[in-house]
Structure 1
Amino acid sequence: MTRSDLDIALEPTGIVGSTTTSQLGEENEEGSSERDLNTTRPAQGTTVVEALSHYPDGGFDAWLMVACSSSLLAVAVGGIYSWGVMQDALTGLGSTGTIAYIGSVQATFTGLLAIPCARLVASFGPRPVALAGTVLCFLGPLTASFVTTSFVGLFILEGVVWGVGAALIFPAAATLPSSYFLKRRNLATGITYGGGGVGGAGFSLLSSVLLNKLGIPWALRITAFLYLALTLPPALVLKSRFPLKPFRSGPVVEWSLFKNPTFLLLFFGAAIALFPLFVPPFFLPLFASSLGLSSLTGSLLLAGFNLASAAGRIICGLGADRLLGSTNAQILCLFASAITTFIIWPLATSLPPLAIFAVVNGFAAGGFFSLMPGVVSGLFGSSRLSSVFGAVLTSFFPGYFLGGPIAGFILSASGGSEKGVAAFRPAIFYSGALTVVSCGLILAARITASKELRKRI
């Protein structure tokens, strides 16, 4: 897998091969600064000063790319995280587990097609790839608005068509700021990926208002045109700083990694983590409705989850290197997610505790995603970041596709949302239990890498 292939993969993270100012001057416990710098310098043998000068690290063009990328991710990521509002409105169309497949398949394509789409970006540039994604993200919900009584129609148009569009947009936007920044890369990428959380919050509230006032068809149509407004102008502006590379095919996974115990623990830990991480954003509005709260309140809770997720992506991405190390911080994020899921969510029979759960759990979920590239780099070294992260990325697919629907089927088997909070608890405990298992596996990976628990990894 090429360097361009690596740059895809970083699910709204905040760190894409990042090198902080402190890393330029000294060796840290996660790897040498010289080694990390070699992943970003323009040519072999380039000095530190030359490598720094290779990046604008500011200026109009650089910050324009950040703004454009953030706007694109507001749709490509925010649209997925706001799906819970529409799912609540579509409950009459089928079981909760069945409807959840639409949102799940949206997220699935973003992970499943990440590496192929990244190769398209490397070969053709970010602009045409993002424009293709823009067209699909517009046509998906627009055409879906005419088949709102058909699950199959919604699955194909809102799930598959929109999902492929988001998968095209994501690699075109997510890594572009990294080519413009070095010293300020964490800040730039944090702002970029924060757009996904802000978009999720905004679309959650907007969808609630549109659904209540205009109904499902017009809510989808208006949302489609808003998607177009937020993606078409930025896509036209995107500009790569590096020469395009010939399109190539070939294996993307280094199979020898599966003989490494540390990798196996991380691989399965990440795979299991993806099952529960989408349960709260998909089910918060429905849970709020079961408490007798208004649909607007449910949308506000989802908006709070998304804003907290944006904050978690930025803060965890910036703070892990200075405080705990990426792996240690990610373990804490999973622990916090498990605690809130087991202790707060099942006992949240009123708005205040449910709001606390949404904010804390959203922050932890955002932190999990932002820290994964640093976890891979810390456990395996920056020189293997491409191959290892490509393999870890493949582990996300089952959880993206099945995590939400499984929770939905458990809810339906427990009597459905009309039975109140008690019916949700088995699905909540399923989510919490898998989070604990994931946390334990990644902790085991951390220990196999180093038994010095105070060491920043």
Structure 2
Amino acid sequence: MSSYPVTNGVITFLPPPEGYVVDFNNPQQQDALEHFLIFGIFGSLAIFCLLQRLYVKYYITRGLKIDDVLITLAWIFSIVMQSAQIWSISIGGLCHHAWEMPIDVFEKHMLSSYIAAPAFIICNGLTKSSLLTFYLQVSPQKWFRRVIFVTIAFVALYTIIIASLLLFGCQPKETAWDPYFFATGKCIDYAVMYIIIAIANIISDIVLFAIPIPMIVQLKIPLGQKIGLGIMLSIATITVTTSIIRMIYLPSLLGALDIPWIAAPANVWSFVEVNLFIICGCMPTFRKFFKHFAPKWMGSSSDAVCSEPPSSDLLQKVQRKKHTGYTQFDTCGYSVSFGIFQEYYSRPGSPISTASSGTIATIGALQQGVMYLMMPFAFLILTRYPRLRHLCGPLGLAVTVASLTASAFVNTIAGLIATQGALYSIGCGLLFCPISHYMNEWFVERKGMALGVMWAGKSGTGIAMPFVFDALLHRIGLRATLLAWAGASAAMTLPTLVFIKPRIPLHTQVQVQPLSFRFLRHTSFWMMQAGVIIQSLGYLMPSTYLASYASTIGLPSITGPILLALFSVASVPGGIVHGMLGDKFSATKAVTIASIGSALPIWLLWGLSLDLANLVVFVIVYGFFAGGFSSTWSNMSTDIQKDDSAADSALIFGMLMGGRGIGFVTAGPLSGALLQAKAHLSSEALGYATQYGPMIICTGVTAVFGAWAPMWKGMRVALGTCKSR
């Protein structure tokens, strides 16, 4: 092992320059804000572009193809890359001097770079392969297709080679990030590799956007459309510009030791470039998108006017989805990130540091549990008295903002439980209920897809918000963070309350709506409700304890937040895909797919290995299937309505959410009891052999029995067959 300098009693990777005054509490930084802004703004644009592409392909052209799968995978890798670097910034790594951070922080920064670099090149390769695959669908000309295949082979080849060198270019592999291996281990020159990546990107970008030009010239289409295609390609060539700018910064890394500081400017452009990959890759579908959603822009118009918009109005639908997604930042952005606050509250010096971890966890449990538990009563009232719906949104926003503001000035655990826990959850529930009612009105068809997008919005907040909150808590403190979030919640949510309106005007609806509760007499409802409750018992256990589990098995502390971000990333497409499945198949099939898909990775990946690679695969697969389970609820409502056609689907939906609330509230003490059991189920190097073994088993069992309704239906059929014999 090499010895490293000690500055102010702290071991650092480099000694400070002569005359430099080191301040570990307020270190110098550069371009940190730019990273957060680009991640927020360009990242949001990338998500919008991807969702419009999937929407156009699924609803308008009626079919997803291989290029859509590739661009979706590229987006996932772009989030991995950016999340790793944002985490490094938040802990004082990237954008800071190497002599102004403890050596363990320097190690975490190097590990984040080790993860981000191959994710960047894989995202690049997948995006370009997606666009090239799309080109194959455009023209049957042999010369054109041959050029495309050669380009695909070139992109695939350099992506695989460079990614492999980045991952396996050090012996031992710890030399890539652990400073104590730098002297004895051997590594490729990563600065040279970054320059090679930039050059390869520039070449492939130029080829990629030059290929279709001869074909566009030969197309027999109006001149205006040719100009439009040319503009689209010229916009796409911005990625070439960003690659060139980034390459200008990269030579400064050659032989550099203060890597976190020197790499910051180039990394800003990496953030821009990785989001432009997704935006440009989704551009081919924009014409159909605007043709359907803004026909006047595309030269068509309609003079039809009606007082009650049809439920099939696509433009209105997409607006409702968009604004409903925005409200998830207020209703879910804080609760899905509470683990960051729990860790902060547990530190010495916090206002409630003397409280037990279980008591602090009660705040987070109430944030989601109370909201779900109040859903049956809130949906019942708003279904019976529809004119109250327009009051709930503003009231809920006022309560959430007031609770966050009040919690900023509270210094006791009881006060935080009341404000951040119960009161905040009640406000979110009031805000969520009317929006769900309006979604139910607008989406008579493909309701599962709409619900999937709504839940995907919730999962999307779990990608960036933990990193944002962690950075804010470190930089500006608890009170300023809570006040800033209260203001951001108001700014983000208030405009959506103006745009989200019922399809049927409230003044045309009668004051009191008759309700049917006959569905409560049928076994089908209770079997599905039982499945929801059981699945909810174990659903949050992996995301709640993954960070602690990673620390227990000796993984770096950065692993936990990255695993949580990957869980949220996978839940976004999981929610949408399961919503689509719910629209195409029966509830029993959709629920069975989600349940079995959730259980298998728990037992086979989490339980049978302590390897980081298996853990990464686990959170992605589990996040996809478990995160999509709630998207099947609309299909459950449809099946339940077959027994009671007069039942209101929104009321049934509220009842199912109440079941989830029961599961969430019960899961807290259940998980604590499982951890206290300390039953080591194996002596091998397995997840089952840790103190989390009983929890792993329990989570897998609850995932399987989430399909209780299909099991019950299958048992009835089997018993009926036996009796007939």
Q: Under a length normalisation based on structure 1, what TM-score does the superposition of the two structures give?
A: 0.74
Task: Choose which of 124, 135, 143 in structure 1 pairs with 2:398.
Answer: 135
Q: Among residues 371, 385, 402, which one is paired with 2:666 in the alignment?
A: 402
Q: 579, 583, 590: which is aligned to 1:317?
A: 579
User: What pairs with 1:305-384 in structure 2 (closer than 5 Å)?
Assistant: 305-322=567-584, 324-347=585-608, 349-378=610-639, 381=642, 383=645
Counterpart-to-counterpart distance in 1, 2:661 and 2:498: 30
Work out whether 1:209 is the aligned partner of 2:476: no
What SS does the corresponding residue of 1:165 show, helix, strand or coil?
A: helix
**Do residues 160 (structure 1) and 427 (structure 2) align?**
no
Q: Is the 8 A contact 1:96 1:412 kept in 2?
A: no
Q: Aligned pair in 2 of structure 1 residues 253, 408: CA closer, same or farther (>3 Å)?
A: farther
Secondary structure at the aligned position of 2:702 is classed as helix
Alignment of 1:163-174 (within 5 A): 163-174=425-436
Query: Matched residues in 2 for 1:320 and 1:120: separation?
Result: 26
Structure 2 counterpart of 1:312, which letter? G
1:109 positional shift: 2.4
- Check 1:393–1:65 CA distance in 2 against 1; reply closer, same or farther (3 A cut): closer
3-state DSSP of counterpart to 2:456: helix
- Following the alignment from structure 1 to structure 2, what is the Cα–Cα distance between the partners of residues 168 and 202? 25
Work out whether residues 126 and 238 of structure 1, in 8 Å CA contact, stay in contact via their aligned partners in 2: no
Distance in 2 (alpha carbons) for counterparts of 1:171 and 1:370: 16
Match of 2:501, SS? coil
C-alpha contact (below 8 Å) 1:71/1:231 kept by paired residues? yes
Report the residue type matching 1:307 in the other structure.
V
Instruction: Kindly report the root-mean-square deviation, in angstroms, between the aligned alpha carbons of the 2 structures.
Output: 3.5
**Can you give the 5+ residue segments of structure 1 that lack an aligned partner in the other structure?**
1-19, 22-49, 453-457
Percent sequence identity is: 24
Q: Is the 8 A contact 2:567 2:622 kept in 1?
A: yes
Which residue matches 1:73? 328
Q: 2:580 is matched by which residue type in structure 1? A: L
State the Cα deviation string for residues 174-225 of structure 1 (Å, max 9, x = none). 3424434455655544433321111222222212322344444443333332
Residue 301 of structure 1, aligned match among 549, 557, 563: 563
Q: CA deviation at 1:162?
A: 0.9
Change (3 A) 1:354 1:152: farther
Cα deviation for residue 160 of structure 1 reads 0.6
- Is 1:100 matched up with 2:361? yes
Contact residue 574 and residue 624 of structure 2 kept, 8 A: yes
SS at match of 1:241: coil
What residue identity is the alignment partner of 2:310?
A: H
Q: Give the whole-Å Cα distance in 2 for the aligned partners of 1:266 and 1:56.
A: 29
> Aligned partner of 1:233: which letter?
P
What's the CA shift string for 1:369-400, capped at 9, x where partnerless?
11123134236527265375555444333212
Tell me: higher relative CO, structure 1 or 2? Use CA pairs within 8 A at least 6 residues apart. 1
In 2, Cα distance between equivalents of 1:185 and 1:254: 23
* 1:88 aligned partner, one-letter code: E
Distance 1:348 1:368 in 2: 25
Superposition pairs of residues 16-415 of structure 1, within 5 angstroms: 54-55=310-311, 57-59=313-315, 61-91=316-346, 93=353, 94-118=355-379, 119-120=381-382, 123-124=386-387, 126-147=389-410, 150-182=412-444, 186-244=448-506, 245=509, 254=518, 257=521, 260-291=522-553, 293=555, 296-322=558-584, 324-347=585-608, 349-378=610-639, 381=642, 383=645, 386=648, 389=653, 391-412=655-676, 414=678
* CA deviation map 1:10-62 (0-9, x unaligned): xxxxxxxxxx99xxxxxxxxxxxxxxxxxxxxxxxxxxxx9x97235223x54
The residue type equivalent to 1:64 in the other structure is: Q
2: CA distance, partners of 1:263 / 1:240 = 27
- Partners of 1:91 and 1:72 in 2: CA distance: 29
Contact 1:81 1:281 in 2 (8 A): no
Work out whether residues 78 and 203 of structure 1, in 8 Å CA contact, stay in contact via their aligned partners in 2: yes
Distance in 1 between residues matched to 2:340 and 2:395, nearest whole Å? 26
**What SS does the aligned partner of 2:313 have?**
coil
Structure 1 residue 425 displacement after superposition = 2.6
Partner AA of 2:561 in structure 1: S
Partner residue of 1:447? 714
The whole-number CA distance in structure 2 between the counterparts of 1:287 and 1:73 is 28
Q: What SS class does the counterpart of residue 423 from structure 1 fall into?
A: coil
Aligned-pair CA distance for 1:95: 4.0
- Provide, for residues 296-321 of structure 1, a one-character-per-residue CA deviation record: whole Å limited to 9, x for no partner: 54233222212222221110111244
Which one is further off, 86-95 or 304-313? 86-95
Go from structure 1 to structure 2 and tell me whether the alpha carbon gap of 1:56 and 1:389 turns closer, same or farther (over 3 Å shift).
closer
Q: Is the 1:209–1:296 Cα contact (8 Å) retained in structure 2?
A: no
Q: Residue 295 of structure 1: CA displacement?
A: 5.4
Residue 311 of structure 2 aligns to which amino acid in structure 1? Y
Residue in 2 that maps onto 1:12: none
Report the Cα offset of residue 107 of structure 1: 1.5
Number of aligned residues: 394
The amino acid across from 2:343 in the alignment is D
Q: Which amino acid aligns with 1:54?
A: P
Deviation at 1:330, TM superposition (A): 0.9
Deviates more, 1:191-200 or 1:339-348: 339-348
* Residues 1:239 and 1:272: Cα distance change in structure 2 (over 3 Å): same
Checking the alignment, whether the CA contact within 8 Å between 1:80 and 1:200 is kept in structure 2 is no
The one-letter code matched in structure 1 to 2:668 is G
CA distance in 2, matches of 1:355, 1:341: 12
The alignment status of 1:436 with 2:699, answered yes or no, reads no
Structure 2: distance between partners of 1:97 and 1:451: 45
Is 1:407–1:430's contact at 8 Å kept on the other side of the alignment?
no
Scaled by the length of structure 2, the TM-score of the pair is 0.49
Aligned equivalents of 1:254 and 1:356: distance in 2?
44
